[in-house]
Structures are given as structure tokens and as C-alpha cells.
Amino acid sequence: MTPQIVYEDGEALVIDKPAGLPVDPPRRGGPSLEDHLEELKLGFQRAPQAVHRLDTDTSGCLLLARNPKALKRFGMAFQEKQVTKTYLGILAGRIENDEGTVELALSKVSTEAKGWRMIPARKGKPSVTHWTKLAELDGGLTVVEFRPETGRTHQIRVHAASGLGRALLGDPVYGHKDARVGRTMLHAQALVVPRDGKPDIAAKAPLPADFARFGVAAQDEG
């Protein structure tokens, strides 16, 4: 099944990446976004290329560039923090405050027992995530909107667990698996990429069915 397209123009596609689909081919083999790139040409000579990454479990907005110049330009927009990214997450627990900012530098560690993961570390790379509590759900769960200012690997997952004190529901690395869900409950809801002389790339991915089952309401971006 080809991922749904939520934005399209001559130099960009934004797809709603399904949860469980890796962006890059797994080392052990298996399906990945690469399997769909030929279908996503949509009449163009070149296959589109992913500008950034989402974790395998994370659903939602993923920007693809349709030519090398666009890929470079969009990549610079991410590096220069010009891109606005909005995520929805379900936390495995309650939090007291209604909004705030997590600033925790992150560093990658690897152990034989647990494999690799990201940890808060004073000498790590600066990482900033703004957040707003949207709703409290049955079962002691909390819906939070995350707006990452930086784009570190696993940033929202670590900032939820270590910054807010509540891991994302179902996160097997920074929290624990949960029988109620089949993945880490994080959704890349919206993406806005500014462009000189052209309208912004502005895309929104629909609310996933597994979020809706918990009573999460779709957020209106206006």
C-alpha cells in the first residue's frame, strides 16, 4: 500500500508515513519506504527522496524532495531550524503542568545488554522541545502536543521520559511495551517549510485510528 500523499507540488511531496514503516531499509531486511519510491514518482523522472527521518513507529508527515536542488534546500531549512514541526503524543501517565519547554542535551550510548539509545548528557547535543498538554484520557493517559525546535534522534521520546517524567505510551526503549497499543504512540501531525519566493509547504496528516480509539480528538491547526 502506497503511503497517502497529504501535500504535492513540483518540488515536494509530504506523505503520511504509516506507523511500522521504516524510512531506511532495515539491516535485517524487510519492507521500508524505499519500496514505495517508484510509485511516488507520479510521472516525474526521478524518485523522490526523504529529506528527514521519522522513527519506524512514528506515523505522520514526512517530507520528500523531487529533485536534488530541492533536497539540498529543504535539508538546509531543517538544519537552520526554519521548519515548524508539530507532533501528538500519548503519555503513559499524568503530568501536572499545562505547558513548558524541555531543554536536555542528548548523547548516544550503546551497551551490549541494551543496544543503543539516547540519554540526557551535559556534553551532548543541545535539544529543545516545547510542549502543551491537550487532554487527559481514561486509564491515566495524557495527550500532549510537542513542537521540537531541534531535530535530534529520539528527541521527543527522551524529552517525554526524562523531561516530563512520563514516557510515551508503548515506548519499549524509554518506557515499556503496553498491551493496549502496538507501537510507540507518537504522530507527526503537521509540517510547515518556508520557501523563498514560493508559498510555504504546509501539510497535515490525519489522526491515526489507534489514537482515535483512545478518544484523542483531531487538532485544528487553523
Residue 50: which CATH number?
Answer: 3.30.2350.10
The pLDDT tens digits for 7-38 are: 999 999 999 999 999 999 998 889 999 999 99
Contact indicator for 184, 90 with CB cutoff of 8 Å: no
Judge whether 205 and 187 are in contact, CB under 8 Å.
yes
CA distances to 40, 62, 107, 190 from 14, rounded to whole Å, are 11, 5, 29, 10
Instruction: Please state, in angstroms and rounded to a whole number, the distance separating the CA atoms of residues 103 and 90.
Output: 20
Domain contains 222: no
Examine residue 77 and state whether it is found in any structural domain, yes or no. yes
Within a domain: residue 101? yes
Active site residue 210: no
Q: How confident is the model at residue 125 (pLDDT cuts 50, 70, 90)?
A: very high
Nearest to 75 by CA among 11, 16, 131: 11
In total, how many domains does the chain have?
Answer: 1
C-alpha–C-alpha distance, residues 3 and 36, integer Å:
8
One of 9, 24, 35, 55 is an active-site residue; which one?
A: 55
Instruction: Give the domain range for residue 130.
Output: 4-212
- Domain-located, residue 102: yes
Percent of the chain past pLDDT 90, that is, above it, reads 90
Residue 76, domain member (yes or no)? yes
**Over pLDDT 70: what percentage of the chain?**
97
- Long-range pairs for 111-115: beta carbons < 8 A, 24 or more residues apart: none
Q: What is the pLDDT of residues 154-189, one digit of tens each?
A: 999 999 999 999 999 999 999 999 999 999 999 999
The pLDDT value recorded for residue 214 is 94
Element containing residue 79 per DSSP (H, E): helix 68-79
